[in-house]
């Protein structure tokens, strides 16, 4: 019969290896908790019930620590609007190439055509982007 130490150690290694196949699922941190449980079981000779309790506690704690470590790292980026390009336009001003008629219009910014919603304005008017609507429209007002 395999001792509790080896069961926890093998389970931990399998969980850590599983992180390679399912990244971002926190298997790394749960695997670390399983290895810690195995080491504690070897040192103190815990019963299986106590080792399960310790594993549950340490898995929860290690996942929280992992979220804190990786969560802080993922917030820092050199391109904060990479997947939210429209958000980068809020607050900017532009000159209309085409009029806004019937409350809707189009403007070219760099290499992209953006659909606008706002009051009717002639071509050449200065506009300011104030919000994003329905993820595809820029809400504008006269600047």
Residues 13-35: tens digit of each pLDDT: 999 999 888 877 679 999 999 99
| Domain finish residue from 32, 54, 75 | 75
Alpha carbon distances (Å) from 8 to 2, 4, 106: 10, 6, 61
Helix (H) or strand (E) holding 112: strand 112-117
Q: Which of 21, 53, 75 is the last residue of a domain?
A: 75
Query: What does pTM read for this prediction?
Result: 0.52
pLDDT digits (tens, 9 = 90+) for 53-103: 999 999 999 989 888 877 665 556 667 676 778 888 899 999 999 999 999
Number of domains the chain is built from: 2
Q: Three-state SS for 31?
A: helix
Range of the domain at 105: 85-142
Per the CB < 8 A criterion, the answer to whether 53 and 40 are in contact is: no
Q: Rounded to an integer, what distance in angstroms lies between the CA atom of residue 98 and that of residue 86?
A: 19
pLDDT tens digit string along 100-115?
A: 999 999 998 888 899 9
């Amino acid at each position: 019969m395999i001792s509790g130490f080896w069961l926890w150690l093998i389970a931990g290694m399998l969980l850590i290896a599983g992180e390679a196949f399912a990244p971002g699922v926190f298997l790394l941190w749960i695997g670390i908790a399983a290895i810690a449980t195995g080491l504690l079981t070897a040192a103190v000779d815990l019963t299986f019930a106590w080792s399960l309790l310790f594993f549950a506690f340490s898995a929860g704690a290690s996942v929280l620590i992992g979220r804190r470590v990786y969560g802080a790292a993922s917030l820092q980026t050199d391109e904060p609007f990479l997947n939210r390009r429209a958000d980068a336009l809020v607050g900017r001003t532009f000159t209309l190439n085409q009029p806004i008629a019937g409350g809707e219009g189009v403007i070219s910014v760099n290499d992209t055509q953006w659909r606008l919603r706002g009051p009717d304005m002639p071509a050449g008017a200065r506009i300011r982007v104030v919000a994003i609507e329905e993820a595809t429209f820029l809400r504008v007002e006269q600047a």
